[in-house]
A and B are shown apart, each in its own frame.
Chain A
Amino acid sequence: MSNYVYLVKGEFQKIGSFKLMLLIIISALATFGLSLAFILYKKEYIISEGLMSMQPIISITAYFATFVLVIFSSITWYYIISFENKNGTWSILLTKPISKNKLLLTKHALNLVLYIGFNILYTLAAFVILKIMNVELDVSEFLKLQIIFSLVAITIPYSQLLFHLMVKNGLLAVSLSILILFLFLMKDNIPDIIAVFIPLLSVDNVWVDITNVGVTTLYCIGSVLYGLVIFLISIKNNYYTYE
């Protein structure tokens, strides 16, 4: 276990700890800024519709967090996976007696650490927004909603990983994240019966039936399974080749 901790730390250092910390902070600040700006801009409408309560405000912050997360995860996978291609360091790793599974697990663990880091700061950002807007806060309900977001939004980084599996060129893989953003923006044009089965849209869909425990649980399980399948594909698929 201590070996894995060292390896994740090593991965962190390889990319640059400061750079990654800065990325998390900037992403959380961007979510905070976008959400707050939108809420202030639409404040009268939100109040007139009776939406100035915890759940609708969190769903607004989650909407912006989704967009930021698309960019955030595309950059993190770039550093975790494509950086080795760009840097030509696969040749070092692939010519040493290294367990490829161990190496991959380390990389996934780093991604998870970064993802959790973003979610913690995003939760803090959402909390501050609720305070600024003087919305009554039920802490346990608030944390539950944030955990639901974290579970369902796992589809985003793992969808990004697919691009890095398919495209060896890291920058191209990052730029493909525009497709995910496009899918989110076009969601209203997709019939609900179809949209509900697109895992990537779960993070957006879940807020419609957030009070329905059964449906929410299904979304959470579906998203985690989706992430797990891509994780397994990434291990099975020998994508970190030199050719």
Chain B
Amino acid sequence: MESIITLSNVSKSFELQQVVKDLSLNIPEGSLYGFLGPNGAGKTTTMRVLIGLIAADKGEIFFKGKNIKDWNKSLFNHVGCFIDSPSYYPNLTAYENLAYIQKITNKPLSEVNRVLKITGIYNAKDKKVKNFSMGMKQRLGLAFAMLNDPDILILDEPTNGLDPEGIHEIRNFLIKLCKDEGKTIFVSSHNLAEIEMMADYIALINQGELIYDGKLEDVLISEEYIVKAKQTEEVIQMLTSRGLEITRLKEEKISFKADQNRMAVINKQMVEKNIDVYELTPRKRTLEEMFLDLTKKDNPRERSGIV
């Protein structure tokens, strides 16, 4: 897929602290791209730099291959943003808040009702925003981002403060936007399970440095397999004789690590030995396991095979 947004060696410091270090990202067009990192990793700063709210010290940002030195008016016709739990005008109603933006940008007011309906706050449109709950404010933030149907949505922790039902609703909504309408969605979150359920691609940063950038499915595949067979001892003997490390799990299951080629040979051997195999599956890592594994080490660059 072609990259719609590219960050090339972007760095940003605040006083003496470098918050983003030589960060390079490629956000494919039409993807739902999860941006992960622990608190203070530099996610929000990266997003602010990306949309030009703050200037990068170094590096370049490309939108559809075009270098963006200054995000001018026309670019924001294509990009909708929700950054850092934005605040609104508390004295205005939800409708008035959105209508104000439409008026100031010379855009149709009919769009206001559309985004209020799809974000589920249409019934509260005449309520002053100062009386909104956190969840409703988050939805209003999404409505702001979605005004005028942008091609790209840049969302910073959009489900913060939402109840489980709201999270589920927003997640499905984002997936639908991406899959059905072909929108590119760049979403940050520290909720790994949520990203795992919706993202196609992920980037993981820690202490401002990129640790992983690529397809979600690639990072979740591990070279670990689980086998459950009737002749457990025979399987253990066969695997240990090949020098493989095994772990006995519950219910006569055994886990072991092997690459795909060795796995094929082992499979064939089990068939030849007439072992009754009930289950043989690759063990899929969770994003949480991968996240903890990648962030626990001090120097992420030392990890082999990653970045």
Question: Which A residues are closer than 8 A to B by beta carbons?
Answer: 3, 6-7, 10, 13-16, 87-89, 91-99, 102-103, 106, 241-243
Give complex CA distance A88, B92 in Å.
15
Stretch in B83-91, B193-201, B298-306 with 4+ CB within 8 Å of A: B83-91
Per the bound structure, the CA–CA distance linking A97 and B91 in Å amounts to 23
Tell me if A's interface is mostly helix, strand, loop or mixed: helix
Scan residues 197-213 of chain B and give those whose CB is less than 8 A from a CB of chain A: none
Output the residue of A7, A14, A102 with the most chain B CB within 10 A.
A14
For the complex of A and B, the 6 pairs showing the least CB-CB separation, nearest first, are: A242-B53, A95-B81, A88-B87, A97-B73, A97-B76, A14-B89
List of A residues within 8 angstroms of B247 by Cβ? none
Contact of A89 among B76, B81, B89, B96 (CB under 8 A): B89
Which residues of chain A come closer than 8 Å to B100, judged between CB atoms?
A: 10, 14
Q: A87-B90, A95-B83, A97-B77 are in contact. List 9 more A-B contacts (CB 8 A).
A: A3-B106, A7-B104, A10-B100, A88-B86, A89-B88, A91-B86, A92-B101, A96-B104, A243-B54
**Per a CB cutoff under 8 Å, which of B83, B92, B104 touches A103?**
B104
Q: Within 8 Å of chain A (Cβ to Cβ): is B123?
A: no
15 contacts between A and B (CB under 8 A): A14-B92, A91-B81, A91-B83, A91-B84, A91-B86, A92-B86, A95-B53, A95-B83, A98-B73, A98-B76, A98-B104, A98-B105, A242-B48, A242-B53, A243-B55
Please report the C-alpha to C-alpha distance between residue A207 and residue B83 in the assembled complex, in whole angstroms.
52
B218 to chain A, nearest CB (A): 32
- In the complex, A242→B90 CA distance in Å? 19
Indicate whether B51 reaches chain A with its CB closer than 8 angstroms: yes
Task: Indicate whether B185 reaches chain A with its CB closer than 8 angstroms.
Answer: no
Are A99 and B73 in touch, CB under 8 angstroms?
yes
Q: Give the interface size bracket for B toward A.
A: 20 to 34
Closest to A103 in B: B104
The reply to whether B84 and A96 contact each other, CB–CB distance below 8 Å, is: no
Q: Which of B53, B75, B76, B92 contacts A91 (CB 8 A)?
A: B53
Judged by a CB distance under 8 angstroms, whether B103 is at the interface is yes
B contact face: mostly helix, strand, loop, or mixed: loop
Contact between chains at A95 and B51 (CB < 8 Å): yes
Given A7-B103, A7-B104, A243-B54, A16 and B91 touching (CB < 8 A)?
yes
- Establish whether residues B54 and A242, one from each chain, have CB atoms under 8 Å apart when the complex forms: yes
**B74 interface residue per 8 A CB criterion:** yes
Write the nearest CB–CB distance from A5 to chain B, whole angstroms: 11
The complex places the Cα of A141 from the Cα of B100 at a distance, in Å, of 43
Q: For residue B87, which residues in chain A have a CB less than 8 angstroms away from its CB?
A: 87-89
CA distance A102 to B103 in the complex (A): 12
Q: Is the CB of B104 within 8 A of A15?
A: no
Proximity bits, B62-87, A CB within 8 Å = 1, else 0: 00000000000111110101011011
- B144 interface residue (CB < 8 Å to A): yes
**B51 proximity list for chain A (CB < 8 A):** 95
The answer to whether A6 touches B103 (Cβ under 8 A) is yes
Given contacts A91-B53, A95-B51, A95-B53, contact A13 B92 (CB under 8 A): yes
Cβ proximity bits B42-62 to A, threshold 8 Å, 1 near / 0 not: 000000100111110000000
A157–B58 Cα distance when bound, in Å, is 39
- How far apart are A172's CB and chain B's nearest CB, in angstroms? 19
Residue of A10, A15, A88, A103 with highest tally of chain B CB at under 10 A? A10
Residue of B nearest to A14 (CB): B89
Indicate whether A97 sits within 8 Å of B74 (C-beta atoms), given known contacts A13-B96, A92-B144, A103-B104: yes
Which residues of B have CB within 8 Å of A94?
Answer: 52-53
Q: Check A10–B103 contact: CB distance below 8 A.
A: yes
**Chain A, Cβ-Cβ closest to B96:** A13
Question: Complex formed: what's the CA distance from A106 to B104 in Å?
Answer: 10
- A242 cross-chain contacts in B, Cβ below 8 A: 48, 53-54
Q: How far is the CB of B279 from chain A (nearest CB, A)?
A: 51
In the bound complex, CA of A16 to CA of B89 (Å): 10
B103 proximity list for chain A (CB < 8 A): 3, 6-7, 10
Which residues of B, 75-134, contact A by the 8 Å Cβ criterion? 75-77, 79, 81, 83-84, 86-92, 96, 100-101, 103-106
State which residues 140-156 of B face A: CB under 8 Å. Answer: 144, 147
Provide the residues of chain A in CB contact with B48, threshold 8 Å: 242
Give A6's nearest chain B residue, CB to CB. B103
Chain A residue at minimal CB-CB distance from B99:
A10
**Contact string, B6-49, partner A, CB cutoff 8 A, digits 1/0?**
00000000000000000000000000000000000000000010
Partner of B91, one of A3, A6, A14: A14
Which residues of A are found within 8 Å of B52, using beta-carbon distances? 94
Residues of B within 8 A of A95 (CB): 51, 53, 76, 79, 81, 83
